[in-house]
Amino acid sequence: MRRTFAPWADPDAKPLIRFENVTKRFGEAVAVDHLTLDVFEGEFFCLLGPSGCGKTTLMRMLAGFEFPTEGVITLAGQSLEGVPPYRRPVNMMFQSYALFPHMSVEKNIAFGLKQDGLPKAEIADRVGEMLRLVQLEKLARRYPSQLSGGQRQRVALARALAKRPKVLLLDEPLGALDKKLREETQFELMDIQHELGMTFVVVTHDQEEAMTMADRIAVMDHGRIVQVATPGEIYEQPKTRFIAEFVGDVNILEGHVQGQENGLWHVKSPSAEAPLTIDDPDEVLHSGQAVAIAVRPEKMVVQREKPGPDALNVLTGEVWDIGYLGDWTVYRIRLATGEILRVSCANVSRFVESPIDWDEQVYVTFAPGAAVILAE
Amino acid sequence: MTRRLSLFNITSLVLGFAFLYLPILLLVVYSFNGSRLVTVWGGFSTQWYGALFRNQALMEAAWVTLRIALLSASIATVLGTLAALALTRYGRFTGRTLFTGMVYAPMVMPEVITGLSLLLFFVAIDLDRGFWTITLAHTTLTMCFVTVVVQARLMTFDRSLEEAAMDLGAPPLRTFFSVTLPLIAPSIVAGFLLAFTLSLDDLVIASFNTGPGATTLPIKIYSQVRLGLSPEINAASTILIGLVTAGVISATLLSKRSVLRSRRNAH
């Protein structure tokens, strides 16, 4: 069911949230720069980018803590212009969790419902429901200072979900958790989102987190959106060098276009003796154009034997470093040009007869379809 | 930090505290003196406390002092808290540094000058000196202390708590009363207690701005001592010392606790 969910591909679908040419300036500094973006109902949407890229400002504008300098934000077709945070059907889970320290867990969760003036019995029901959802029934009467980091995170989530907002905003929701807990919580968040069918907008600087959870990711840089796509597209077809380098690990080979033959591009790079052959038919390039070729480490192969004369995309170097990670081994290969390539190799077998060793002369190859050409 | 106390340290500690508290201790001890003579020990007795409570003039002065202290501390707490909110919350408005300085100035201003300038002001606006002028003068004196204490708390206040309240549907005023105020309350109470004790033991400013029928306890004690020492005064002073000590200690504990709490929640 999840797999067929792609409202962004449907031209008739109406977005739930729409940023139209939104700009936000703080004095001279431009935090968000003429940004246009659609988010659809039921989406798990991630805003990804380095710190200072404007993702948090974008989220705060959605929550109503900041207002756009120019442009309009609409929610379910209605403009949010001048609507204060307490009148928006949007709730936020804060990075610091912002739990009220003078209120118990129950009171924290009930806070938003009380503001709506719901009857007491209904508030109690909903609080109970939320506590069950985040598995904190036993801690209802505790105070935030008596909870662990993971428990606080759940309370914050339950409090933000209690009002059943149209959109839930999550600001670095897992940032304060340790690695193991973070991974578990990622899947829990996805389950909860799926169960409630709510629209989640998550701000994160952690690309792994974004890749795991999101239906779509918007990569931001300097107040602009560089690419909006599914995690797979972002990883396999990054639009720019910035995205290729920001999301996952990547090897970049620089070169100049020589020409096209049978739909394959030939690129002359100082890193390789023979011209490189790249299968990236969507790119429109001209001869002599400077380009960057991006190849993911797991799409490169390292071998000791010299490849045959017909082999494409052969690079020569020596092993500079070996990192054994258990599931993967990462080789750092130094080319004659001084560039260091990162090649990762799945450890499919428990024993290897003569493993590649430090300082050995090796050959690195990759298939034409493994690489992406990025216009400089 | 955990170095053992050496003989030198102990000696200097004892000497320092003796220098600070020996006179007060002497006064407290002599308030329990059985003899009428202030400098001769005549056995333990609480008779002067009894005499004190029967002394109409002293009791009246104490009552006036208490009323002034409560009232001026209350006004100072409201004004001081508002000033602290304005100074920490409204960003960098023009002249903020100047305003901050001006709020703090009364703390270091010689009391004689504060007292005199207030007197001149009250004369100029033709306000009869008495209960109200002392109350106003004490409000002026103590407000800045409230501001300092509350401001210290507001500086460490996590603004996202207020944002969270608004995000959950609470308009600004309700956010203030349901989230901000309960969290800064300990520091407000601490500020109130400081203001209260300052007003309680002030002599200089009160003497400048007093009038008929508004004799505070410090003024009364001071004028009585000029006529000759009486053990009743010792008793009255002992009670005053007790009150002030209690006030200052609770103020310190409260503000410390509220800062600690805000720090704990930052994690």
Mutate to test the interface with B, among A62, A83, A92 (most CBs of B within 10 A): A92
Select from B132, B129, B110, B135 the least CA-distant residue to B195.
B135
Please report, to the nearest 10 degrees, the dihedral formed by the alpha carbons of residues B61, B65, B71, B75 taken in order: 140
pLDDT at residue B261 tops 80:
no
DSSP state of B180: I
Nearest residue to B38 (alpha-carbon basis) of B26, B55, B20: B26
Domains and CATH numbers, chain A: 2-245 (3.40.50.300), 249-375 (2.40.50.140)
- Residue in B163, B171, B261 nearest the CB of A65: B163
Is the pTM above the cut of 0.95?
no
Mean pLDDT for B152-175 is 93
**pLDDT at residue A330 in the model:** 94
pLDDT at B227: 81
pLDDT at B37 > cutoff 80:
no
DSSP string across A93-124: E-TT----TTS-HHHHHHHHHHHTT--HHHHH
Name the residue with higher pLDDT: B230 or B123: B123
Give the CATH fold of the B49-265 domain. Answer: MetI-like fold (1.10.3720)
| Cα torsion through B101, B102, B107, B110, rounded to 10 | 120
What CA–CA distance (Å, rounded) separates A46 from A199?
A: 11
Query: Which strands, in side-by-side order, build the sheet including A44-48?
Result: A90-93, A167-171, A199-204, A44-48, A216-221, A224-229
Q: Indicate yes or no: CB of A84 within 8 angstroms of CB of B166.
A: yes
Q: What is the mean pLDDT of residues A35-59?
A: 94
Is B160 within 8 Å of chain A by CB? yes
Q: What is the mean pLDDT of residues A19-44?
A: 94
Q: Count residue pairs from A and B with Cβ separation < 8 A.
A: 68
Tell me the C-alpha distance between A215 and A166, whole Å.
17
pLDDT, tens digit (0-9, with 9 covering 90-100), for A62-80: 999 999 999 999 999 999 9
Bridge partners (DSSP) of residue A323 are A330
Q: How confident is the model at residue A143 (pLDDT cuts 50, 70, 90)?
A: very high
Q: What is the pLDDT of residue B263?
A: 60
Q: Contacts of residue A64 in chain B, CB cutoff 8 Å?
A: 166-167
Distance separating alpha carbons of residues A123 and A163, to the nearest angstrom? 10
Helix (H) or strand (E) holding A72: strand A70-75
Closest among B167, B173, B89 to A97, alpha carbons compared: B167
Can you tell me the distance from the alpha carbon of A289 to that of A375, in angstroms, rounded to the nearest whole number? 8
Looking at the predicted structure, is the pLDDT value of residue B29 above 90? no
The residues of A whose Cβ lies within 8 A of any Cβ of B are 63-65, 84-87, 90-92, 94-96, 98-102, 111-112, 115-116, 144-145, 159-160, 163
Bridge partner residues of A364 (DSSP): A302, A315
Q: What does the pLDDT average to over A166-195?
A: 90
- Cβ contact B195:B72 at 8 Å: yes
* Every domain of chain B and the residues it spans: 49-265
Mean pLDDT, rounded, for A96-110:
95
Name every residue whose Cβ is closer than 8 Å to that of residue A114 and which is 6 or more positions away in sequence.
Answer: A123
| Mean local confidence (pLDDT), B51-65 | 88
DSSP track, A76-88: TTEE-TT--GGGS
DSSP A304: S
Query: What does the pLDDT read at residue B264?
Result: 60
Q: Which one of A60, A61, A93, A96 would you mutate to disrupt binding with B, by most B Cβ within 10 Å of its Cβ? A: A96
pLDDT at B1: 46
The pLDDT value recorded for residue A178 is: 86
pLDDT category at B239 given cuts 50, 70, 90 is confident
Contacts of A161 (CB under 8 A, 6+ apart): A91, A130, A133, A168, A192, A196, A198
Closest CA to A44 of A247, A227, A216: A216
- Tokens linked to A336: 């004659």
* Interval A189-197 mean pLDDT: 91
Which single residue is written with the structure tokens 């390039």?
A: A285
Residue A123: pLDDT band with limits 50, 70, 90? very high
Q: What is the mean pLDDT of residues A121-140?
A: 94
Q: Which residues of A touch B174 (CB under 8 A)?
A: 115
Decide if pLDDT at B258 tops 70: no
Helix boundaries (H) for chain B: 7-31, 47-54, 56-89, 96-108, 111-124, 131-155, 159-167, 172-175, 181-200, 204-209, 217-227, 231-265
Phi, psi of A236 (to 5 degrees): -90, -30
- Which of A247-261, B119-133, B197-211, B243-257 shows the lowest per-residue confidence on average (mean pLDDT)? B243-257
CB A16 within 8 A of CB A40: yes
Residue B53: per-residue pLDDT: 87
Which parts of A197-323 fold into alpha helices (H)? 207-213, 231-236, 241-246
Rounded to the nearest integer, the mean pLDDT of chain A is 92
Q: Do A100 and B158 touch (CB under 8 A)?
A: no
Give the containing element (helix H, strand E) for A61. helix A55-63
Amino acid letter, A261: E
pLDDT at B241: 87
Q: Average pLDDT, stretch A114-137?
A: 94
Mean pLDDT, residues A7-20: 90
Percent of chain B beyond pLDDT 70?
A: 94
pLDDT, tens digit (0-9, with 9 covering 90-100), for A80-95: 999 999 999 999 999 9
What order do you get walking across the sheet with A361-366 strand by strand? A300-303, A361-366, A314-324, A328-335, A340-346
Token pair belonging to B199: 């007003």
Average pLDDT over all residues of chain B: 87
Question: Residue A347 is encoded by which pair of tokens?
Answer: 């450890």
For residue A1, the model assigns a pLDDT of 45
| Residues A111, B168: C-beta atoms closer than 8 Å | yes
- Structural contact between residues A141 and A127, judged by C-beta atoms closer than 8 angstroms: no
pLDDT for the residue numbered A199: 95
Q: For residues A163 and A86, is the Cβ–Cβ distance under 8 A?
A: no
pLDDT band per the 50, 70, 90 thresholds, residue B257? confident
In this prediction, residue B104 carries a pLDDT of 82
DSSP codes joined into one string, A158-198: HHHHTT--SEEEEESTTTTS-HHHHHHHHHHHHHHHHHHT-
Percent of chain B with pLDDT over 90: 40
H and E: helices and strands count for chain A: 8, 20
- Where is pLDDT greater, at B251 or B262? B251
Distance, CA of A156 to CA of A98 (rounded, Å): 7
B183 to A78, A344, B143, B178: CA distances (angstroms): 36, 53, 20, 9
d(CA B136, CA B213): 16
What share of chain A has pLDDT > 90, as a percent?
75
Cβ separation of B167 and A159 shorter than 8 Å? no
B82 Cα to chain A: minimum distance (Å) = 22
DSSP letter string over B34-85?
SSSSTTS---B--HHHHHHHH-HHHHHHHHHHHHHHHHHHHHHHHHHHHHHH
**DSSP code for A375:** E
Non-local CB neighbours of A191 within 8 Å, separated by 6+ positions: none
Distance CA B177, CA B160 (A): 16
Label residue A2 by pLDDT band (50, 70, 90): low
Residue B3 confidence (pLDDT) above 70: no
Give me the DSSP letters along A247-267. Answer: SS--EEEEEEEEEEETTEEEE
